[in-house]
Copies of this chain bind each other. A is one copy, B any other.
Amino acid sequence: MITRVQHRVSFYDTDAMGVVHHANYIRWFELGRVECLRQVGITLDALMQAGYVFPITDVRCKYLAAGKFDDVLVIEAKPAALTKVKMAFDYRILREKDQAVLVEGHTQNVFTKRETGHIVRLPELYYEKLARALA
């Protein structure tokens, strides 16, 4: 399952080199990840209200080409691994008009109890939905 979300590059996404600042792609991975979870019926808000948070433990990103102001980007997110305590995603961000791949990335999240910050096994209810995303 690959989820796709669009984002148009704003002035505030760019820097004085005239291109998208590299840290913004890490932000945009989140757009893909959140949309992927939404499509299997999980919102981070509902997770938080149930007492779980889903912090990032690892990020990797390779930069292949530069995005510019007003480019329409497509953020692709794809579940890459899942256990009861963690989940990984792979990403690509493309420029829509020519489908050039601007960045490739990877993140890993762990499931933690919000109150304690401790890593926990995710309840079956959520795990099953995520397993479907991975299938």
Contact = CB atoms under 8 A, between A and B. Distances in A.
A56 B55 CA distance: 25
A134 interface: no
Question: For the complex formed by this chain, how many copies does it contain in all?
Answer: 4
Contact of A15 (B12, B26, B114): B12
Contact of A26 (B18, B30, B59): B59
A100 interface: no
User: Ordered nearest first, which 10 A-B pairs have the shortest CB separation?
Assistant: A14-B16, A23-B26, A22-B56, A23-B27, A59-B61, A11-B15, A16-B18, A12-B21, A12-B27, A60-B60
A129 interface: no
Contact of A44 (B11, B22, B45, B117): B11
Interface stretch (A62-70, A77-85, A89-97): A62-70
B58 A70 contact: no
Interface residues of A, number: 38
A59 B58 contact: no
Nearest to A58: B62
Nearest to A71: B45
Interface string A21-64: 11110110011001000000001110010000101111111110
Contacts of A70: 34, 43-45
A125 interface: no
Interface in A1-26: 10-12, 14-19, 21-24, 26
